A = this chain, B = another copy of it.
Amino acid sequence: MRNRMIQLSQNEIPRQWYNIVADFPNPPEPVLHPGTGKPVGPDDLKPLFPMALIEQEVSTQRFIPIPEEVLDALTLWRPTPLFRAYNLEKALGTQSKIYYKYEGVSPAGSHKPNTAVAQAYYNKKEGIKKLTTETGAGQWGSALSLAGSLFGLDIKVFMVKVSYEQKPYRRLLMETWGGNVTPSPSTETEAGRKVLEKDPNSTGSLGIAISEAVEVAAMNPDTNYSLGSVLNHVLLHQTIIGEEARLQMEMAGDYPDVIIASCGGGSNFAGISFPFLRDKFHGRDMRVIAVEPTACPTLTKGKYAYDFGDTVGLTPLVKMYTLGHNFVPAGIHAGGLRYHGDSALVSQLYHEGQIEAMALEQRDIFEGAVLFARHEGIVPAPESAHSVQAAILEAKKADEEGKSKTILFNLSGHGHFDLAAYEQFFKGEIQDSTLKEEELSKFLAELPPVAM
Identity of the chain B residue whose Cβ is nearest the Cβ of A107 in the assembled complex:
B377
Asked whether any CB of chain B lies closer than 8 Å to the CB of A417, the reply is: yes
Which one of A71, A169, A178, A377 has the greatest number of beta carbons of chain B within 10 Å? A377
A177, B374: Cβ atoms closer than 8 Å: yes
Asked whether any CB of chain B lies closer than 8 Å to the CB of A407, the reply is: no
Asked whether any CB of chain B lies closer than 8 Å to the CB of A437, the reply is: no
Give the bracket for the number of chain A residues in contact with chain B: 35 or more
A1, B72: Cβ atoms closer than 8 Å: yes
Known contacts A3-B10, A107-B378; is A173 also within 8 Å of B419 by CB?
Answer: yes
Known contacts A172-B419, A377-B76, A416-B417; is A105 also within 8 Å of B107 by CB?
Answer: no
Known contacts A72-B1, A109-B416, A419-B169; is A77 also within 8 Å of B10 by CB?
Answer: no
Asked whether any CB of chain B lies closer than 8 Å to the CB of A198, the reply is: no
Tell me, in angstroms, the Cα distance from A149 to B177 when the chains sit together. 34
B75, A419: Cβ atoms closer than 8 Å: no
Asked whether any CB of chain B lies closer than 8 Å to the CB of A365, the reply is: no
Identity of the chain B residue whose Cβ is nearest the Cβ of A13 in the assembled complex:
B1
A99, chain B: closest CB distance, angstroms: 14
Residues of B within 8 A of A150 (CB): 87, 374-375, 377
Spot the interface stretch: A126-134, A227-235, A310-318, A420-428.
A420-428
Asked whether any CB of chain B lies closer than 8 Å to the CB of A175, the reply is: yes
Residues of B within 8 A of A13 (CB): 1
A5, B10: Cβ atoms closer than 8 Å: yes
Tell me, in angstroms, the Cα distance from A374 to B426 when the chains sit together. 36
Q: Which of B2, B75, B149 contacts A72 (CB 8 A)?
A: B2
Asked whether any CB of chain B lies closer than 8 Å to the CB of A11, the reply is: yes
Tell me, in angstroms, the Cα distance from A325 to B410 when the chains sit together. 48
B177, A373: Cβ atoms closer than 8 Å: yes
Residues of B within 8 A of A375 (CB): 149-150
Identity of the chain B residue whose Cβ is nearest the Cβ of A66 in the assembled complex:
B1
**This chain: copies in complex:** 2
Residues of A148-163 at the interface with B, using a CB-CB cut-off of 8 Å, are 149-150
Tell me, in angstroms, the Cα distance from A4 to B77 when the chains sit together. 9
A67, chain B: closest CB distance, angstroms: 11
A152, chain B: closest CB distance, angstroms: 10
Asked whether any CB of chain B lies closer than 8 Å to the CB of A137, the reply is: no
Residues of B within 8 A of A356 (CB): none
Tell me, in angstroms, the Cα distance from A177 to B422 when the chains sit together. 11
Interface string of A350-383 (1 = CB under 8 A from B): 0000000000000000000010011111110000
Q: Which of B2, B10, B175, B376 contacts A426 (CB 8 A)?
A: B175
Q: Which of B1, B71, B176 contacts A75 (CB 8 A)?
A: B1
Identity of the chain B residue whose Cβ is nearest the Cβ of A366 in the assembled complex:
B176
Asked whether any CB of chain B lies closer than 8 Å to the CB of A146, the reply is: yes
A381, chain B: closest CB distance, angstroms: 12
Q: Which of B2, B10, B109 contacts A4 (CB 8 A)?
A: B10
A7, B7: Cβ atoms closer than 8 Å: yes
Tell me, in angstroms, the Cα distance from A420 to B419 when the chains sit together. 15
Q: Which of B11, B76, B377 contacts A3 (CB 8 A)?
A: B11
Residues of B within 8 A of A72 (CB): 1-2
Tell me, in angstroms, the Cα distance from A1 to B4 when the chains sit together. 28
Asked whether any CB of chain B lies closer than 8 Å to the CB of A201, the reply is: no
Which one of A9, A146, A376, A419 has the greatest number of beta carbons of chain B within 10 Å? A419
A7, B9: Cβ atoms closer than 8 Å: yes
Residues of B within 8 A of A75 (CB): 1-5
Tell me, in angstroms, the Cα distance from A176 to B370 when the chains sit together. 7
Tell me, in angstroms, the Cα distance from A310 to B106 when the chains sit together. 38
Asked whether any CB of chain B lies closer than 8 Å to the CB of A401, the reply is: no
**Which A residues fall within an 8 A CB radius of B?**
1-5, 7, 9-11, 13, 68, 71-72, 75-77, 83, 87, 105-107, 109, 146, 149-150, 168-169, 172-173, 175-178, 370, 373-379, 416-417, 419-420, 422-423, 426
Instruction: Name 9 interchain pairs, CB-CB below 8 A, sorted by A.
Output: A1-B11, A7-B10, A76-B83, A76-B87, A168-B419, A169-B416, A172-B423, A173-B379, A175-B423
What are the 9 A-B residue pairs with the smallest beta carbon separation, nearest first?
A107-B377, A172-B419, A416-B416, A149-B374, A3-B10, A76-B377, A169-B419, A107-B378, A4-B75
